[in-house]
Amino acid sequence: MAAEHAMAGMVSNEDLHLRLTPLRSPAPGDSARAAEILAGMRRELAKYRDVRVAEDDGFREFIPAAGAPVRHLTKLRWALQARNGLDPARPTSLLYQAGADRSLTLVGAMFTAPPQTSDAELDARLPLSIARWHQHINWCLPPLADAR
């Protein structure tokens, strides 16, 4: 999705905050598998275009930051379920772009996996030739007063 592409251009493995999985060469079937996952995501997540529906369904802003251009709304129950695999209909987080008028536009979804998940296991969840996973290795949090 657009947010993933934007984020991919902002970080590198030299970044002190994130480690990206390596981009792999395409394997037979990667594009078809990714297209199937994306189609399922788009179908199942269309209802969350309205952020109020997401909030009513249990998504909560993860580390609220005043003025953040992209808001992460997370559903902790789905994060726990993600330990077992990727379900395109149940992302850990929904990404919303904040507008100048304070409106929120759904621009992407994020999935999680346990920290010890190997690149091969991540590739089995979502082809690494199509998308890259990132691991937070050094959390930077805003001062508590800024997060309100």
pLDDT value for 145: 57
Q: Report CA-CA distances (Å) from 44 to 8, 73, 95, 106.
A: 24, 16, 15, 13
Phi, psi of 34 (to 5 degrees): -65, -40
Contact 92, 79 (CB under 8 A): yes
Query: What is the tens place of the pLDDT at every residue in 63-86?
Result: 777 678 999 999 999 999 999 999
Question: What are the structural domain ranges in the chain?
Answer: 1-6+47-135
Listed residue (92, 130, 99) closest to 113, CA to CA = 92
pLDDT category at 124 given cuts 50, 70, 90 is very high
Listed residue (131, 71, 82) closest to 107, CA to CA = 71
- Strands, sheet with 60-61, edge to edge from the N-terminal-most edge strand: 60-61, 70-74, 93-98, 104-110
- On the question of pLDDT at 2 being above 50, the answer is no
* Alpha-helix runs per DSSP H in 67-144: 76-81, 119-125
Q: What contacts 24+ positions apart, CB below 8 Å, involve 75-79?
A: 79/112
Q: pTM of the prediction? A: 0.79
If you average pLDDT over every residue of the chain, what do you get?
Answer: 86
